[in-house]
Structure 1
Amino acid sequence: MTDTDTDTRTVTVEREIPHPPEKLWRALTQPHLIAEWLMKNDFGLDLGHRFQLRGDWGHVDCEILDVEPGRSLSYSWNHAHDDPAYALESTVTFTLEPTSAGTRLRMEQVGFRPDQKQAFGGAKGGWRIHLENLEKVVATLD
């Protein structure tokens, strides 16, 4: 079996946020802020750092894959589950682009298999809510 673009699906959410990239970067990379908009965590920004995102339902194992300070952040997003339809090995990438009004934030989660319709749908809705919460957190920063 070969890997092609049709084997997996991607959730992409873009938002224009009326704050500078520096503020968004803080909210994307500081553990206490990540906990406010996403999940409890033991995040660290070093390349290769392994961390967990924790919720009432369980946790996601992550590893920092790429960091361009103030511009992009990428980490693995691996959720183990007994049911293969819910087990997920994917990559999440945040990209920040300065605009005249603030920042264009792009979030991509790559790696949903065709049989993971529920996980894919959940991620589509979930990321929209998380990014709304991210914007609220950023609005409170000095």
Structure 2
Amino acid sequence: MNVTMEQPIGARLVTSDDRERAIPATLRYTAADPLAVHIGFPAHVTLDGEEVTWTFARALLEEGLGAPAGIGSVHIWPCGPRRTFVEFHAPQGVALIWFDTLLLRRFLRRSYTVVEPGTETVDPVLDQGLTSVFGVN
């Protein structure tokens, strides 16, 4: 069954002059893409005026709630008991956004009711492609 869950969430964008701006976001998790979580931002808060969705590993979100995590375009780390920072790297620049940790944890727990951690499976075609790229059997 292809179950998708979404959760609107408020966030705070940290600007280059260390001010904060409230922005809306939407967290999404779908059984069709069980290893990933998605954070969407509406067009009016993006640089190019188009909706943007960032997709990254659900395990990265889980790890980043407890300790600094991430390489590449998404980095996540806790900042005290109530805030979690997510840093997005794109060709246009870097966005630093913080979320309420409790709400991120709640979303993560809800995602486990859709697909339990460790039971994720990927499409056989994708699995075959990954096997051929990495040369593992």
TM-score by length of 2: 0.31
The structure with the larger Rg is 2
